[in-house]
Amino acid sequence: MSGGISQLHTARLDEGETTPRFVENGTEESETIMDALGSDTGRSIYHHVQSEPSTPSELASVTDRSIQTVTYHISNLESADLIQEVGTTYSDQGKEMTIWGPKSGPIVFVDDESAAKETLAKYLGAIAALGAGSVLVQYLTDRFVASVPSQGSGVTPASYGTPPVVNGALHSLAEVLATVDVGLVVFIVGATVLAATYRTRA
């Protein structure tokens, strides 16, 4: 960080705070958030601390506003539960300064908060199941590739127990599968389908 900061103390930044925050339209909570983000300065402060927690003096420099103006918007953003104190630091003059950072994940405005959370939970469960299925697919693929004798291994079609045509096809398939992360492909395709379904039903 810039602005004469010498050291950082008691940082409380929660990097795991990425879960979406659902806010129902038309509620007092949504109005408070809209008021806090209603100005360019408020939005600039909010977006900046999402990626780089900062002190009021740093935010004043970033937004080209006075400390008094920045402090006013910080108060509004804090009241809306959009930002929080994540630590303290000291200037070269020994003055303690508060570091402000995000309090929650992305804000999602919805008509029905409970329904939105239920839908999200359902699709997160589907993603988890898809991940487990992808691991299983990759395991079975690896087993298949390992079970097919490689060319030049000394195992003949007759001793392998399959006709030459079938044996050749198995070799070709095994060679292709050995170069592809099948589990990852299954996961990506499945996740894409789930995302498209989620957007359609949202």
Which of the pair, 141 or 54, is modelled with greater confidence?
54
Amino acid letter at 13? L
Query: Are 167 and 185 in the same domain?
Result: yes
What local confidence, expressed as pLDDT, does residue 150 receive?
64
Domains contained in the chain, number: 2
pLDDT digits (tens, 9 = 90+) for 154-169: 544 444 455 555 666 7
Does one domain contain both 132 and 197? Answer: yes
The pLDDT score that the predictor gives to residue 128 is 84
| Domain limits for position 121 | 113-201
Alpha-helix residue ranges (DSSP H) falling in 39-155: 40-51, 56-63, 67-79, 113-147
Summarised one tens digit per residue, pLDDT across range 62-120 is 999 999 999 999 999 999 999 999 999 988 888 899 999 998 878 877 776 566 666 66
Instruction: Write down the pTM of the prediction.
Output: 0.50
172 and 79 in one domain? Answer: no
Could you report the per-residue pLDDT of 29-75, keeping only the tens digit for each?
889 999 999 999 999 999 999 889 999 999 999 999 999 999 999 99
The confidence score (pLDDT) of residue 47 equals: 92
Q: Which amino acid is at 158?
A: A
Q: What is the mean pLDDT of residues 12-16?
A: 44
Residue 145: pLDDT above 90? no
Higher confidence at residue 88 or residue 180?
A: 88
Tokens of 44: 């600039």
Domain end call among 57, 90, 106: 106
The last residue of one of the domains, among 84, 106, 128, is 106
CATH of the domain at 81: 1.10.10.10
pLDDT of 162: 54
Phi, psi of 101 (to 5 degrees): -140, 180
Among 16-25, 51-60, 75-84, 185-194, the range scoring the smallest mean pLDDT is 16-25
Phi, psi of 96 (to 5 degrees): -75, 135
106 three-class SS: coil
pLDDT band at 131 (very low <50, low <70, confident <90, very high): confident
Q: Is the pLDDT of residue 2 over 50?
A: no
